[in-house]
Amino acid sequence: MDTGLKGKVALVTGASRGIGQACARVLAEEGCNVVICARGKEALEKTAEEIKAGGVQVLAIQADVAKPEDIRNLVAKTVEKFGRIDILVNNAGRGRLSDMLELPDEEFRYNMDLMFFGVIECSKQVIPYMRKSNWGRIINISSIFGKQPGGLVDYDSIKAAVIMFTKDLANYLAKDNILVNAVCPGPIHTQLWDAPGQLGEQIGKLVGMSGPEAVEWFAKQNIPLGHHGDPEDIAYMVAFLASDKAKFITGQAINVDGGMVKTPI
C-alpha cells in the first residue's frame, strides 16, 4: 500500500528502542525523513545509523521530554534542519508495577511530566508548523491500560489522560486538517516487559516463575491470541494513521492488543 508519506518529516520521541524505534524505522521505510530523540545518547545514535542505511535523512537529538526546554530545543533543531514538521509520534514513556500507597510522589510527578505534560508540550510546539502546511498528524502512544486497570497506578492514570487529551485536541485541530489519534498497545515485547527487573520479572516474582515464563503465562491467561505483540505491530498502525489512507480518522484511541480489551468502546 502506498502511504504517500515520502518526503514528510516525522518526529518520534523515545525512539532509541522498542515501540518508538520501530515507529521511526517503519516511517523511514515509507520515505519519511525522521527526527528521533531519547535520553540515552549511545542507543540513540546507533538507531540513527541503522535508519540512515535506508537512504533517508535522520536527525538524532538527545532530549528528555519531561523537560520543556528540551522539547523546545528538539523542535527548533528539527525546523532548522528540515523547515517543517508533518508527523509527531508522542511515544516516550516507562512503567512498572506499583503499590498505590508506596509509589513515591516524585516518581509519579516525573512520569506525569514525561508521558502527559511532555505529550502536551510536544504537541503545542509542533502545531504552528503543521498549521502552516494545513496538514499534520499527531499520534499519541497511549495503552489499553488507559482503558482498563493494569496494576501500574501512575502509568494507567496517565495513559487514560492521554486518551482524553487526544480526543479534545482532535476536535480543536480538525479545522486545520491536523488529525490526532492515539494508539493503545496491549502487551508488546519491549524492554518494559522483557528486560531484567521489568514487568516480566516483577510478575514472575508474584506467581513463582522466571521472567520469560511469566510473560508467556500472562499472555496465555489474558490475551486471546495467546502471545505478546511486536513493536512493528504498533508501528504499522502508526504509519497508517500518518498517511492519507486514514484521512477520515481523528479523535480515536485504537487498540492493538491481540483482543485483550473486552469493552465495546
The one catalytic residue in 110, 129, 155, 236 is 155
Distance CA 189, CA 211 (A): 12
**DSSP letter at 229?**
B
Q: Is the dihedral of CA 221, 222, 224, 225 positive or negative?
A: negative
Distance CA 192, CA 220 (A): 18
Residue 207: its H or E element: helix 199-207
Three cell numbers, residue 185: 498497545
Q: What is the dihedral of CA 210, 156, 170, 21, to 10 degrees?
A: -30
- Please answer whether residues 161 and 116 qualify as being in contact, where contact means their C-beta atoms are separated by less than 8 angstroms: yes
Q: What is the dihedral of CA 168, 172, 174, 179, to 10 degrees?
A: -50
Distance CA 188, CA 253 (A): 17
Sheet holding 58-62, edge to edge: 58-62, 33-38, 9-12, 87-90, 136-141, 178-185, 253-256
- Active-site residue flag, 155: yes
Q: Is the dihedral of CA 98, 103, 109, 110 positive or negative?
A: negative
Distance CA 119, CA 104 (A): 22
Distance CA 74, CA 80 (A): 10
Catalytic residues: 155
